[in-house]
Amino acid sequence: MWLEAWSGSYALDEVLAVINAAISGTFLLFQGLHPLMENSEEPDVLTIGSISGLPNAALQSVSVPFYAAKRGQVALAEGWLQAFRGSRFRSLQVNPPYLDEVLPGQQDWDEVETRGKDARATSRDVVEAGLVALTRPRHISLTIEPDADDGGLFP
């Protein structure tokens, strides 16, 4: 759930919606799926967060409630990483920057492979980063920050 920065006040329902979507929604989805995941040979939780969730990330155009919600979402993934130690579960994260939307079957999806490092990240990058994380050996947990737009620096 997105909530852009602006100089006015936010409605209570806007603030609660953005925080609940990122934190409560992420936690409750995992809690609901956990019993089913117990039956999996390779149970993984892949959290797709945001650069807004990283320490000291610049606000850019995001609201403070969105920024806080994404920090909370990253904290959930980090908490699960600790809680899962010694178990079959893994906690993986992808924290993308601003993205360009690309769709399979369209020309811009195929052009992603030939972009320069200074090009903006895309939704395909998020999918591929998630697949990289999920296909690593079981003894590896990853946090991935695609750095396509600013060379890993989040202004």
Evaluate if residue 51 carries a pLDDT over 80: yes
Contacts of 72 (CB under 8 A, 6+ apart): 19, 22, 23, 53
pLDDT band at 150 (very low <50, low <70, confident <90, very high): low
Residue 70 lies in a domain: yes
Residues above pLDDT 90, as percent of the chain: 63
Distance CA 130, CA 123 (A): 11
Radius of gyration of the chain (CA): 17
Strand positions, DSSP E, 49-123: 90-94, 99-100, 121-122
Residue 133 lies in a domain: yes
Structural domain span for residue 17: 12-144
Task: Report the CATH number at residue 108.
Answer: 3.40.50.720
Q: Please say whether the beta carbons of 22 and 81 come within 8 A.
A: no
Record the pTM. 0.85
pLDDT attached to residue 151: 47
Q: How many domains does the chain have?
A: 1
